[in-house]
């Protein structure tokens, strides 16, 4: 215990945040008084360090090396600054731009970072106010910055925050990948071991980005899908889910010529407490209930939701069979519609282009690419990989992420995807059709694809490792009544070679179905992704239902 108390006291003494310092002091005192619960909590706070990886940092707010706080963020900023100086040369002053959303401590973390970057001799540019993640990703390219940092935890629970890093130059504004993540992490660790964060050089001589930068993002995004005349009377509903999307989205809609939506007033302003949702993710059950209620009251033709940092897009359409009167489309359905649009535009423009999606997203995108004579790339999960596909004009992943304008934003962007989706809906409306009709037309053209997901949320992350090990040790020969024709283990060097090694199992079934099992990269979950293709919507639904039951049984057995 003495070692734990020594670490905790050293952290407390360097913590510039009054609240977390007091919280840690209380835990220290209670531990010294023999409170076993306090000791266990203190041990959890210092159980290693919150790991810096290709997703940057993300975790629960609170004091300690295993939480998100001002000490950890200061160490990360100083480590990133050292990395950028090393790459640019000691005499250079590379530019780094910092953005932040509406979560608790986001602005504080961003300002700390700006001061530390400036203190390290970098040209630091802080975005003028809380803004969506896509604006930060845009700013990295627009300012020709060496790097960008976005302080956000996206759609994570309310008490989380994160630190997402983008690189300019050869990386063209994409999120970091290996080996940059490990190199930055090594610099961060050296900073952490060198002394308290109060000794790090700081400066308030950083720049605040002008409003013209936001205006440039608005103009570029509005150009993605200007409104046709048929958009004029379009009635739709929008929710920002207590995030930062609405102000920027409203400006883009006006510039592109789309009618203003009916907004979900209780969710339209940024609020880091997320008071109307238990989990601020449009994919979660109940998260869009208020949007559906607003849509019913206003007679909306469809519903659009952004997640809290507006890098994701969810879409729902009227459905009499749904209890809420609206049915949220899957990320795959939206991705295929946007991919179809991108393919048509590319062929019309005579572009030699490619479509890309993560390996867990619908195989339908490859069918689109082949139909239109475009290249196709399957990547590991995450836009850090999708954005690097050569010749990319569109990329998506099933978790509601869409990259529709890679020339300006090399990341998923829920606002530009909104504009593209609105253009699809408006053009269909001009022909007397709905989004449901567009989906039906897609299925007639390309086939009936259906997807689902089975997820296991855990408290103990070692459970996920045990399940993956059990699946590798006892590989299934069949799922339900369908034989497994092959299993690719992407950890093995003899994998298919399409993607770097990853903790992923891909099972191919004799009827053409597919199951992919992997640990989540951002949540304590094991996920299984199911994809089928049927002769009709009913056939696809039947196959998917049977496959889901078989996969649930497989995962249950692997846990025993």
Cα dihedral 211→216→219→222 (10° resolution):
-100
Q: Are 372 and 492 in contact (CB under 8 A)?
A: no
- Cα 318 to Cα 494: distance, rounded to the nearest angstrom: 46
SS3 string, 228-248, reads CHHHCCCCCEEECCCCCHHHH
**Kind of pairing, strands 313-318 and 326-328?**
antiparallel
- Cα 457 to Cα 468: distance, rounded to the nearest angstrom: 14
Catalytic annotation present for 361: no
- Cα 156 to Cα 281: distance, rounded to the nearest angstrom: 7
Which of these is catalytic: 154, 174, 358, 416? 154
* Opening angle at CA 459, ends 454 and 464, nearest 5: 55
Spatial CA neighbour of 464 closest among 410, 403, 528, 507:
528
Which residue reads 């790459």 in tokens?
Answer: 87
Q: 68 in helix, strand or coil?
A: strand
Q: Are 506 and 514 in contact (CB under 8 A)?
A: yes
Spatial CA neighbour of 308 closest among 109, 138, 150:
150
Residues in the chain: 560
Q: Tell me the catalytic residues.
A: 154
């Amino acid at each position: 215990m003495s070692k734990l108390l020594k670490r905790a006291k050293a952290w407390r003494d360097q913590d510039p945040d009054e609240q977390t310092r007091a919280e840690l002091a209380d835990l220290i005192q209670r531990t010294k008084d023999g409170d076993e619960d306090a000791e266990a909590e203190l041990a959890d706070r210092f159980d290693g360090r919150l790991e810096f990886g290709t997703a940057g940092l993300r975790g629960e707010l609170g004091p300690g090396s295993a939480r998100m706080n001002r000490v950890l963020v200061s160490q990360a900023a100083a480590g990133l600054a050292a990395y950028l100086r090393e790459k640019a040369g000691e005499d250079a002053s590379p530019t780094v731009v910092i953005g932040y959303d509406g979560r608790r401590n986001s602005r504080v973390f961003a300002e700390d970072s700006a001061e530390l970057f400036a203190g390290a001799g970098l040209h630091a540019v802080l975005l003028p106010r809380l803004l969506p993640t896509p604006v930060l990703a845009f700013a990295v390219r627009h300012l020709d910055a060496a790097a960008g940092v976005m302080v956000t935890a996206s759609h994570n629970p309310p008490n989380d925050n994160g630190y997402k890093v983008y690189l300019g130059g050869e990386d063209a504004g994409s999120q970091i990948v290996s080996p940059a993540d490990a190199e930055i992490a090594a610099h961060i660790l050296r900073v952490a071991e060198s002394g308290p964060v109060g000794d790090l050089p700081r400066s308030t001589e950083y720049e605040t980005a002008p409003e013209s930068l936001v205006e440039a993002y608005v103009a570029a995004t509005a150009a993605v899908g200007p409104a046709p005349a048929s958009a004029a009377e379009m009635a739709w509903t929008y929710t920002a889910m207590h995030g930062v999307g609405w102000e920027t989205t409203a400006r883009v809609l006006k510039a592109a010529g789309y009618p203003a939506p009916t907004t979900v007033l209780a969710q339209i302003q940024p609020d880091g407490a997320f008071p109307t949702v238990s989990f601020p993710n449009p994919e979660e059950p109940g998260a869009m209930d208020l949007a559906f209620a607003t849509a019913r009251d206003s007679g909306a033709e469809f519903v659009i939701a952004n997640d809290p940092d507006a890098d994701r897009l969810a879409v729902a359409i009227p459905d009499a069979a749904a209890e809420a009167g609206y049915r949220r489309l899957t990320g795959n359905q939206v991705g295929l519609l946007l991919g179809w649009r991108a393919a048509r535009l590319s062929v019309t423009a005579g572009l030699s282009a490619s479509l890309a999606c993560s390996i867990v997203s619908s195989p339908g995108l490859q069918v689109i690419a082949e139909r239109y004579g475009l290249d196709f790339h399957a990547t590991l999960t995450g836009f850090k990989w999708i954005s690097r596909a050569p010749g990319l004009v569109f990329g998506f992943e099933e978790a509601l992420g869409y990259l529709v304008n890679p020339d300006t934003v090399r990341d998923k962007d829920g606002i530009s995807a909104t504009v593209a989706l609105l253009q699809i809906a408006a053009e269909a409306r001009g022909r007397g059709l709905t989004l449901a009709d567009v989906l039906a037309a897609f299925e007639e053209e390309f086939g009936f694809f259906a997807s689902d997901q089975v997820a296991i949320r855990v408290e103990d992350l070692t459970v996920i490792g045990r399940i993956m090990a059990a699946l590798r040790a006892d590989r299934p020969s069949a799922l339900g009544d369908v034989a497994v024709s092959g299993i690719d283990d992407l950890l093995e060097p003899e994998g298919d070679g399409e993607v770097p090694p990853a903790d992923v199992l891909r099972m191919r079934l004799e009827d053409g179905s597919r199951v992919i099992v992997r640990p989540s990269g951002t949540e304590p979950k094991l996920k299984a992704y199911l994809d089928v293709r049927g002769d009709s919507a009913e056939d696809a639904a039947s196959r998917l239902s049977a496959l889901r039951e078989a996969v649930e049984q497989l995962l249950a057995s692997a846990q025993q």
